[in-house]
Structures are given as structure tokens and as C-alpha cells.
Amino acid sequence: MNFKILQYKELESTNDKANEIIDDENDFCNKVIFTFYQSKGRGAGSNSWYSSAGKNLLFSIIICPEIEVRQQFFISKLTSLAIIEYFKQKSISAKIKWPNDTLVNNKKISGILIENSITGNKLNSSIIGIGLNLNETVFPETLHATSVKLEKQKEFELLKELNNFLKIYEKRFNLCKNKSFALLDKEYFENLYGTDKYLTYKDKEDIFEAIVKGIDNYGRLILKDTTGKERIYMFKEVELLNYE
């Protein structure tokens, strides 16, 4: 599999462009939509994605993974692990904040926005939108963000870095294709944030301290609070309040 990179100077959102390509073309698998600037970059939920022009990696990979709907969280797992490996190659130690964020020194360095299209119980295609802070040096304070440049005091070339990342991604994707799910599970847990200390979380009922016990087969977060009670959450049902 070789990814084909489609490069744009500016787009509203690479995920939106990927959706258009899937609607309009037959041959959409393994295409990567890359842009230097997004005017309507989308984050998780109703958030927008912050990035100045030409500073960061903004791209969407379209894959056709042939897995079942109930296995779809593996796409997120393999993507997070590829991002962790990419940072490792730069001697940056990163952690996965469930479900789709990557943290370095407790600050967000990248985010993933996955959009799946489903036929029956199979995944038809998956758009994996990745925003990775590369050369940005000033962020709005509320974002608690960092970048590779802030961590390494060095500038990086966008397209070279995209190609480096895609090589790592392809290797990871093959693991998923060969259904090495147990290995992915193990590695994902090892790189998860909050497994070694109690942190403060908020759900719709209360604020509590808890430690991450794992992720279940549906991709839900399993927390154990200070009374020993297990609490299981879907995305958006729980929020981490402190990053320490």
C-alpha cells in the first residue's frame, strides 16, 4: 500500500475534502489530503482546530480497513500509537489521552478526528484527520498546547514530516490488517495517560479522583475511583479536569 498525497494550499477542512472525495470518486482508498492552512479546521465535537498557516501538519488519511463496526476503536488505537512512535523517533515522550489526544509534558501536541462510513456491520471507509503541532510557537493559553518546535527548539519541514509519519502509519495499519489486536491493545494501554496516578475527573453527576484501569472492547474508558468503584464512560461522558 502506498499512500497518495493530494496537496492543497488552503482548504476549509481536510476531513471535509476527504468526505467530498469519497462521495465523488470511486478510487479513494489510501489517499491523503494535506493542506498548509484550514479556514474551518474541525476539532472533536463542536470545537475548532487551531493552526496558523504553514506551521503544522494538517491532513486526513482515507483508509478502507475491512474491519467490523465493533472493532472500529482499533483505528483510533493504531493512529494514536503511530503518533506516539513518530514522537519517539524525535526523542519526545508522548502519552495518549483517551480517546484521541496526544500529550507531551501534560500539554496537547496532536488531535485526531475520525469519521467512519459504515455499510451493514463493516467499515466502508475511515477518514483519519490529524492535526499535529509542528512549528507553532504561540498558542492561546486556554488550549494548553505545545509543539515539536517548542519541545526541540528546532524547525521541521512539513512535507518531509508528513512522509515520515505515513511510513510509520503504514506499518501500524498492517498490524491492524493482520488482526494483531492483542498487541495493539497492550501497547495502547502502556502508552495511556493517567494509568499510574489518580487524577480529577468530572461526569454528569460529580467530580471525583480516579485512575485509568483500561479501555473495554467498545473503546470505552474504564476508571477506578478512590472508593474502588469502576466507572465506564463513552466519549464525552467524562472530562479530565487536571493534567499533572
Q: By C-beta, is 13 or 125 nearer to ligand BTN?
A: 13
- Find the Cα–Cα–Cα–Cα dihedral 14, 25, 82, 98, rounded to 10°: 60
Closer CB to ligand BTN, 115 or 170, in the complex: 115
DSSP string, 92-143: --EEEETTTEEEETTEEEEEEEEEEEEETTEEEEEEEEEEE-SS-----GGG
| Contacts of ligand BTN in 113-152 (CB under 6 A) | 113, 129-131
Report 18-57 residues binding ligand BTN (CB under 6 A): 38, 41-44, 47, 49
Asked if 58 touches ligand BTN (CB under 6 A), the answer is yes
CA distance 125 to 21: 12
65 binds ligand BTN (CB under 6 A): no
99 near ligand BTN, judged by CB under 6 A: no
Query: Does the protein bind ligand BTN through residue 95 (CB under 6 A)?
Result: no
Q: Count CB atoms within 10 A of the CB of residue 212.
A: 22
Nearer to ligand BTN (CB atom), residue 111 or residue 194: 111
Name the one range near ligand BTN by CB under 6 A: 106-114, 152-160, 161-169, 177-185.
Answer: 106-114
Beta-bridge partner residues of 171: none
Q: 109 or 208: whose CB is closer to ligand BTN?
A: 109
C-alpha cell at 183: 498487541
Please give the residues from 168 up to 227 whose contact with ligand BTN meets the rule CB under 6 A: none
CB of 226 to ligand BTN, least distance (A): 28
Asked if residue 60 binds ligand BTN (CB under 6 A), the reply is: yes
- Give the helix ranges, DSSP H, for the chain: 14-24, 73-88, 148-152, 158-177, 181-190
Dist CA 218 CA 227 (whole Å): 25
- CB of 49 closer than 8 Å to CB of 43: yes
Q: How far is the CB of 135 from ligand BTN (least distance, A)?
A: 15
Residues 10, 25: Cα–Cα separation, whole Å: 21
Q: Does 77 bind ligand BTN (CB under 6 A)?
A: no
Question: In the complex, which residues of this chain contact ligand BTN (CB under 6 A)?
Answer: 13-15, 38, 41-44, 47, 49, 58-60, 100-101, 111-113, 129-131
